[in-house]
Amino acid sequence: MDVRLSPEQQALRDSAAHIVDRLAPKAVGQIGDLERMARLDAAVAGSGWRELRTETEGGGCLATGVEPAIVAEELGRGLADVSFLGPTLATELRRLAGAEPGDTVETVALDTALSSLARAVNGESPPAVAIDAQGSARALLLVPDGERHRVAQVELHTPPIGLDLTRPSVILDSSSVVTPIDAAHPPITADDVTRWTALGLALTCADLVGTMRGAVELASDYASERQQYGVAIASFQAVQHMLADAFVAMEGSRSVTLHAAWAVDALPAGEALTAAAMAKAYCARAAINVCETAIQVHGGIGNTWECLAHIYLRRSLLSSDLLGNASASLSHVLVHHGLEVADGLR
């Protein structure tokens, strides 16, 4: 047991941090700056991070769950408006299906509650959402095949929208044409889908950890500059204690997330999913609190569009719902521990 990042993992983190610090938006006004976004997208494309979960010649995977989690945390910290989670999960789905890597940037489609991969019905796409769809030409989804699933794709035509201004979605409807992808393997198993979900949850948690870290830094910097009563408001214990709690919640979230990211490949699929559900329940609850704290510390400014604090909140709101919210994750934990919930008042 040694849960320190390896030198290679530290180098990956530093390289991701470097790109984020150079190219991610520093102000709300920079969101939607197409030239900057193109440079950020080119940097991420050139890094190969979206392909970390590609199959190697030996049949393994280029990276464990930890490496993409390291990237996701840095992207979340800097509010990077570039797709990563969606394309990484598309890469993973292709690998599980035994398909060749996609020839263009693609993401995945989830049901409209964002709780699981979308399932096509009778060759038609159900109402679904292609997440993290900036720059993606298509989205992958599942087609039921007996007890198993095949992987299919839909083309994306409409512009991305949504509450998270840095990771917008494309809404799909039943007019979307579902085309099976060529895949070497037989239909993917329930275990494959479970492991895919564990990866998705772990990366979502990592993004939440980064979002929390960025929100705490933003609010700490603001509180150290903003003066009232002739002193920086960061010198008041009432403010210090809010920021300290936020920082501590982020650190706890990181610990449980690192384990979930490691578990993706190291544990049996069911245990990997439970580790991910533990992390998601913890991180989703923590992140909303932390981002709300960031808004509160900014006072009136925090409630204006121009303040980055609500961009963090929006990013954490989307992440908190992705692949199962805190409540659904907690229910999974309870069932795993053999606890059935009896409904109703007693």
339 contacts: CB under 8 Å, gap ≥ 6:
none
Number of residues interacting with another protein: please give it, by CB under 8 A.
Answer: 54
Buried b (16+ CB within 10 A) or exposed e, 187-202: bbeeebbbbbbbbbbb
Minimum CB–partner distance for residue 41 and another protein (Å): 28
Dihedral angle, C-alpha 226, 297, 26, 109, nearest 10 °: -170
Of 88 and 253, which has the nearer Cβ to another protein?
Answer: 253
> Shortest distance, CB of residue 48 to another protein, whole angstroms?
20
- Pick between residue 145 and residue 221 the one whose CB is nearest to another protein: 221
What's the angle, vertex CA 183, arms to CA 176 and CA 131, rounded to 5?
A: 40
**What x-and-dash track marks residues 219-238 binding another protein by CB under 8 A?**
-x--xx------xx-xxxx-
* 241 sits near another protein (criterion: CB under 8 A): yes
Residue from 92, 68, 16 nearest 262 by CA:
68
Token duo for residue 106 = 């693609």
3 state DSSP class of 142: strand
Hey, what long-range contacts does 13-18 have (CB within 8 A, 24 or more apart)?
A: 13/70, 13/73, 13/74, 15/47, 16/47, 16/49, 16/70, 16/71, 16/74, 16/75, 17/74, 17/77, 17/78
Q: Contact between 258 and another protein (CB under 8 A)?
A: yes
Q: Does 177 bind another protein (CB under 8 A)?
A: no
For 188, the 3-state DSSP assignment is strand
Nearer to another protein, 190 or 231 (CB): 231
Binding track over 311-330 against another protein, x by CB under 8 A: -------------------x
* Residue 109 or 256 having the CB closest to another protein: 256
Give the per-residue contact string, 267-306, with another protein (x = CB under 8 A; - = no).
-----------x--xx------------------------
Q: Say whether residue 9 binds another protein (CB under 8 A).
A: yes
- Which 8-state DSSP code applies to residue 120? -
Q: 133: how many CB neighbours lie within 10 A of its CB?
A: 30
The smaller minimum CB distance to another protein, of residues 153 and 220, is found at: 220
Q: Does 338 bind another protein (CB under 8 A)?
A: yes
Of residues 202, 262, 302, 325, which one binds another protein by CB under 8 A?
262
Q: How far apart are the first and last CA of the chain?
A: 45
Binding range to another protein, per CB under 8 A, among 124-132, 158-166, 180-188, 255-263: 255-263
Tokens of 153: 């794709």
Task: Determine the Cα–Cα distance for residues 220 and 140; give it in Å rounded to an integer.
Answer: 40
Q: Closest distance between another protein and the C-beta of residue 264, in Å?
A: 11
> Measured from the CB atom, is 125 or 197 closer to another protein?
197
From candidates 29, 248, 303, 304, binder to another protein by CB under 8 A: 248
**What does the binding site for another protein look like in residue numbers (CB under 8 A)?**
1-6, 9, 66, 216, 220, 223-224, 231-232, 234-237, 239-241, 243-245, 247-248, 251-256, 258-259, 262-263, 266, 278, 281-282, 330-331, 333-334, 337-346
